[in-house]
């Protein structure tokens, strides 16, 4: 914008400065002074209302008893700290019926009684304290010209009023660790607007009951499986419907599955071997010798044998490819195709993704084709040694072979770190997580592994089917079908699942409500994770009061 478009007003400086006071209806600026050495601006501010109500009887009065001066800090102006000499008054109460004879006027929109800083400065400091904590908050406020200390910042945060939800109706309660494995607290969240209602320093039935009694509006409480919270809720809000959170139901099921799989070590290992095999069917047997064969192996007979084997593999791939596509075009289900051709379902999918048969790889002399890249490979090899790798080139070569196989199977190179293909197989714990994870969210190697594992052992297959049926109840919220499922689990002969069903029986009403009502503690879990982050930032120094403020102020 060109300069001549501005209209400059030759305002007297006091009228100009007064624009920056927080409440110009009740304050006026009388004088100002600048101390350049101390980088300090002092404003003389006067409280102006001619009549004020008595705080006790609320009758207005204008008879001044006396005046006094308060010094309060305000927002800085650039490098200059700003403070006010605030002239306030004491008034006589003229109401003869009022026991109060003299009172001090208040400026509730500007400064709290007894406070040493204006409200707007205090709010700014609280915002920094909440966001950053004492130390980091003070470092940043210092750069903005705000003079404070970590202790002051945290004291302000601790004393700040918290937002208050008067009538929550649907809430979630859960534990959170404020010293991992040692001390637990309780978090309460409004499940309708996802805001944190409160953070209690302990995890006990009594604390939860005492908190709940304050809110007769609560109609639904979502909780974990602990008897402790169940009891607290029963005491505090007997009228509320208790709902077991679906997250915890799935967690308990996963624990049961893990316990079951612990005794299936051999099957877990066998399934890993089958997974590798299923993968090899797609990519063809690995011609690893080609990659590191020595000169003595390069006899003509050897080469002929290699070539014959290669042609055989190629022919088998083409046959499988064509059969897969023909059956698929005829509308044959993938499972049937897999059974008929004796390959796994993922392998069927891998073939279907291809638009032409796997192409033959012509035998190549590695030296010739690699020549343009040799300088690069030598450089990378040196870098690998420089990073501390001291093992053989053969190991690297084997890894690269696996990468190639993976890439031919349509896998990401990262799957080479997959626990599902290692010789000892994955842990029972890892498998249990995959097991309860929705199929669409499983990684390709995990899915392939689960498919193999189910077929290794009949009991495992049965346990899998049973747990998937339970997960379907959870996801589709079919509380009505719960008891039928429990009967099946109890009769299954799979002890871990029978025990799980028995546990559900002991908390049946709340579990059924969890499988029927739409509420879940998803928002609570989100907040619990955020708490972990806050503690990692070193925010509260294990100070629950501060952590509570931080959580409630931001929520
Ligand atoms: Zn009065």
- For 443, counting Cβ atoms within 10 Å of its Cβ (0-12 exposed, 13-18 middle, 19+ buried), the class is middle
Instruction: With a cut of 50, say whether residue 291 has pLDDT above it.
Output: no
Q: How far apart, in Å, are the Cα atoms of 374 and each of 365, 366, 367, 396?
A: 14, 11, 9, 16
What tens digit of pLDDT does each residue of 439-474 get?
Answer: 888 888 889 899 999 999 999 999 999 999 999 999
C-alpha 432 to ligand 1 mean position (Å): 72
Q: Which two tokens stand for residue 9?
A: 């007003």
145 versus 496: the higher-pLDDT residue is 496
C-alpha 62 to ligand 1 mean position (Å): 12
Instruction: With a cut of 60, say whether residue 191 has pLDDT above it.
Output: yes
What does residue 275 show for φ and ψ, rounded to 5 degrees? -65, -45
Which sign does the torsion angle of CA 124, 130, 136, 138 carry?
A: positive
Which sign does the torsion angle of CA 316, 319, 322, 326 carry?
A: negative
> By mean pLDDT, which of 149-153, 233-237, 349-353, 406-410 is the weakest?
406-410
Region 18-34: mean pLDDT is 90
Region 407-423: mean pLDDT is 68
> By mean pLDDT, which of 43-52, 382-391, 510-519 is the weakest?
382-391
Pairing of β 40-47 and β 64-77: unpaired
Query: How far is Cα 117 from Cα 160, in angstroms, rounded to an integer?
Result: 14
Average pLDDT, whole number, for the chain? Answer: 85
Dihedral angle over CA of 182, 186, 192, 197, nearest 10: -120
Q: pTM for the full model? A: 0.59
> What is the structure's pLDDT at 297?
47
432 versus 182: the higher-pLDDT residue is 432
Instruction: With a cut of 80, say whether residue 273 has pLDDT above it.
Output: yes
List the one residue out of 313, 307, 303, 304 whose CA is nearest residue 283.
313
Region 424-437: mean pLDDT is 92
Region 535-539: mean pLDDT is 65
Instruction: With a cut of 80, say whether residue 303 has pLDDT above it.
Output: no
> What is the structure's pLDDT at 58?
92
C-alpha 105 to ligand 1 mean position (Å): 12
Q: Are 29 and 87 in contact (CB under 8 A)?
A: no
Residue reference for tokens 């009549």: 51
Region 298-311: mean pLDDT is 73
C-alpha 106 to ligand 1 mean position (Å): 14
C-alpha 14 to ligand 1 mean position (Å): 35
C-alpha 22 to ligand 1 mean position (Å): 28
> What is the structure's pLDDT at 286?
43
Neighbours of ion ligand 1 (CB under 5 A): 54, 56-57, 93, 95, 98, 100
C-alpha 55 to ligand 1 mean position (Å): 7
Region 322-339: mean pLDDT is 86
Q: How many CB atoms lie within 10 A of CB 427?
A: 15
What tens digit of pLDDT does each residue of 213-255 get?
Answer: 999 999 999 998 888 999 999 999 999 999 999 988 999 999 9
C-alpha 113 to ligand 1 mean position (Å): 18
C-alpha 492 to ligand 1 mean position (Å): 79
Q: Which residues of 464-497 are buried (b: 16+ CB within 10 A; e: fewer)?
A: eebbeebbebbeeeeeeebeebbebbbebebebb
C-alpha 195 to ligand 1 mean position (Å): 41
């Amino acid at each position: 914008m060109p300069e001549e478009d501005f209209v400059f007003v030759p305002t007297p400086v006091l009228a100009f400065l007064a624009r920056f006071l927080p409440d110009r209806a009740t304050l006026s600026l009388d004088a100002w002074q600048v101390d350049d050495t101390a980088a300090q601006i002092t404003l003389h501010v006067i409280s102006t209302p001619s009549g004020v109500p008595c705080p006790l009887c609320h009758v207005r009065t204008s008879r001044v008893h006396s005046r006094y001066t308060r010094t309060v800090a305000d927002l800085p102006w650039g490098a200059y700290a700003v403070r006010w000499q605030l002239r306030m008054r004491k008034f006589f109460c003229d109401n003869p019926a009022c026991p109060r004879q003299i009172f001090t006027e208040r400026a509730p929109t500007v400064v709290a009684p007894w406070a040493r800083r204006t409200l707007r400065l205090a709010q700014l400091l609280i915002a920094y304290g909440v966001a950053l904590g004492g130390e980091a908050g003070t470092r940043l406020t210092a750069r903005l010209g705000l003079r404070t200390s970590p202790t002051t910042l945290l004291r302000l945060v601790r004393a700040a009023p918290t937002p208050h939800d008067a009538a929550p109706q649907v809430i979630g309660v859960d534990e959170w660790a404020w010293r991992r494995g040692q001390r637990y607290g309780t978090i309460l969240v409004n499940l309708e607007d996802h805001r944190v209602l409160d953070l209690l320093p302990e995890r006990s039935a009594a604390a939860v009951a005492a908190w709940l009694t304050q809110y007769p509006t609560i109609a639904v409480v979502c909780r974990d499986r602990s008897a402790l919270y169940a009891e607290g809720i029963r005491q505090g809000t007997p009228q509320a419907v208790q709902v077991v959170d679906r997250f915890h139901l799935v967690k308990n099921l996963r624990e049961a599955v893990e316990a079951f799989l612990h005794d299936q070590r051999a099957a877990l290992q066998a399934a890993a071997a089958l997974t590798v095999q299923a993968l090899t069917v797609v990519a063809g047997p690995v011609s690893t010798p080609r990659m590191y064969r020595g000169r003595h192996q390069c006899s003509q007979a050897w080469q002929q044998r290699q070539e014959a084997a290669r042609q055989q593999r190629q022919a088998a791939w083409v046959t499988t490819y064509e059969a897969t596509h023909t059956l698929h075009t005829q509308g044959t289900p993938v499972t049937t195709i897999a059974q008929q051709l004796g390959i796994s379902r993922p392998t069927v999918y891998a073939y279907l993704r291809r638009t032409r048969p796997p192409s033959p790889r012509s035998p190549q002399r590695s030296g010739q084709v690699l020549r343009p890249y040799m300088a690069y490979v030598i450089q990378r090899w040196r870098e690998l040694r420089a990073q501390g790798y001291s093992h053989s080139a053969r190991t690297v070569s084997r890894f690269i072979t696996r990468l190639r196989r993976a890439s031919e199977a349509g896998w990401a190179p990262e799957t080479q770190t997959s626990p599902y293909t290692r010789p000892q197989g994955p842990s029972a714990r890892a498998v249990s997580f995959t097991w309860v994870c929705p199929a669409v969210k499983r990684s390709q190697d995990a899915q392939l592994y689960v498919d193999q594992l189910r077929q290794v052992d009949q009991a495992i297959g049965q346990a899998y089917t049973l747990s998937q049926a339970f997960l379907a109840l959870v996801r589709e919220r079919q509380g009505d079908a719960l008891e039928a499922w429990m009967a099946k689990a109890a009769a299954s002969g799979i002890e871990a699942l029978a025990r799980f069903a028995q546990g559900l029986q002991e908390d049946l009403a709340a579990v059924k409500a969890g499988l029927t009502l739409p509420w879940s503690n998803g928002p609570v879990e989100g907040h619990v994770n955020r708490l972990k982050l806050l503690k990692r930032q070193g925010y509260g120094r294990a100070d629950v009061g501060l952590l509570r403020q931080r959580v409630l102020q931001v929520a």
